[in-house]
Amino acid sequence: MRSILEELKQRDLLKQFTNEEKILNAQNEGAGVYCGFDPTADSLHVGHLIQIINLKRFKDFGFAPIAILGGATGMIGDPSFKSEERSLLTLEQVGKNVDGIKRQLNFLIPDINVINNNDWLGKMSLIDFLREIGKDFNLAYLLAKENIASRIEKGLSITEFSYTMLQGYDFFRLYEDQKCWMQIGGSDQWGNITSGTDYIASRVGRENSKACGITMNLLTKKDGVKFGKTESGAIWLDKDKTSEYEFYQFFVNQDDEDCEKLFKFLTTLPVDEINLIKEEHAKEPFKRIMQKRLAQEVTTFVHGTEGLAKAEKVTEALFSGDLMQLDKSELLATINSMPKIQVKGNLEIIDLIVESKIASSKREARELLNEGAISINNNNTFEENTIVDEKLFTVDNFIFIKKGKKKYFVVEII
């Protein structure tokens, strides 16, 4: 079997690693590999996908995947390259978030070992922390770490300053209890990961330590913007926060120049197969072959084959204009993914079209109606004085209006 390092290099994922010999030994021994997730919300989002896929990737290369949920450290906040202190969450908020993320991870990687670091850190007193952990961290060593040094001038509390020590202790506990010899993370986690390998070496002896770490390149778009940031906010992995259709469309709408990197980072497809998809796409780029295949792969991973089928059904309904084939939940999911225009009810349809800014004037609205260019619920024959009431509602108090062949508007009747 190829080494995991070769796989990461081929995918342009590899940023830094501590010790190649120890990494290869961990792979050969089927050791544990872990990544941490801070429970700042009750769902992960697409920005977390790279590390979730990496845990799956490491599993395919013989490692035992472990996810640490920061039930304790999440109440503090990681200072790594953040511009300011995080708002502190309550214990109840963190507990709810941990439960939500654990369900997601167990679905995405069924045999993953999900562990809450509050199981040990929550039982530790301040004196225990100072004696057990603090004595093994030199102040000069911590201040030299880039993720801490970058915050010193702007202000860094003792609370967040302690984060890297607690994460180092997490690694030690997994090393001792779970045969976990490796930690992975984004490139911004290098300081925290090396705190763990160094702390383990101080506990078991540097010559005896099998601990190692790898960081991955951060996933950014061609313009340098961090992947997953949109004007409307995060793209969540929870279908109740971001519908399967919205999730699918997010990937369908990616730029050609970003697709190859997204394939390498967010799927386990072999690089040779990715290159073939790229070649096929180049012949007829207007068909968006790369985008559609990418959306299929990632949506299937996150939402399963049923979620993909649902996303493709909504996509086809919008393309064909036959929205009435969708059930209520699918219609509402589609509505939630689109901007909405609020208009008062019981207007004549010609006034509704103008107030919704579908047309700029009554004259234009009249022309659209006469040409049959306005369609509501598969009907495009309306008198201009037709009253818009619940008989025209598509679902609940929403009306889907199609202008021409492809342009859709969602009007919310208030």
Q: Which two tokens stand for residue 390?
A: 């619940």
The set of residues, in sequence order, having a beta carbon less than 8 Å from that of 242 and lying 6+ positions away, is 45, 234, 235, 236, 250
Q: So which residues are the catalytic ones? A: 40, 45, 48, 82, 86, 167, 188, 226, 229-230
137's tokens: 């961290």
| Residues 277, 47, 81: CA angle, nearest 5 degrees | 130
Backbone angles phi, psi at 316, to 5 degrees: -65, -40
Which one, of 51, 49, 57, lies nearest residue 27 by Cα?
A: 57
Residue 65: name the closest of 37, 43, 41 by CA. Answer: 37
How many CA atoms lie within 13 Å of 65's alpha carbon, on the beta-carbon side? 19
Known binding residue 229? Answer is: yes
Q: Return the closest-CA partner of residue 328 out of 379, 389, 395, 376.
A: 395
Sign of CA dihedral 263, 269, 271, 277: negative
Burial code of 10-22, b = ≥16 C-beta within 10 A, e = fewer? ebebbbebbeeeb
**105-118 burial string, b = 16+ CB within 10 Å, else e?**
beebbeebbbbbbb
Asked if 274 contacts 294 with a C-beta cutoff of 8 angstroms, the reply is no
169 labelled as ligand-binding?
no
Q: 411 in helix, strand or coil?
A: strand
Under DSSP, is residue 331 helix (H, G, I), strand (E, B) or coil? helix
Is 261 labeled as ligand-binding? no
- Which residues have C-beta within 8 Å of that of residue 78, sequence separation ≥ 6? 38, 160, 163, 167, 192
Q: Which of 8, 24, 31, 34 is nearest to 168 (CA)?
A: 34
- Report the SS3 class of residue 389: coil
Q: Check whether 183 is labelled as a binding-site residue.
A: no
Binding residues for ATP: 229
Known binding-site positions for L-tyrosine? 34, 163, 167
Q: Annotated binding residues, as ranges?
A: 34, 163, 167, 229
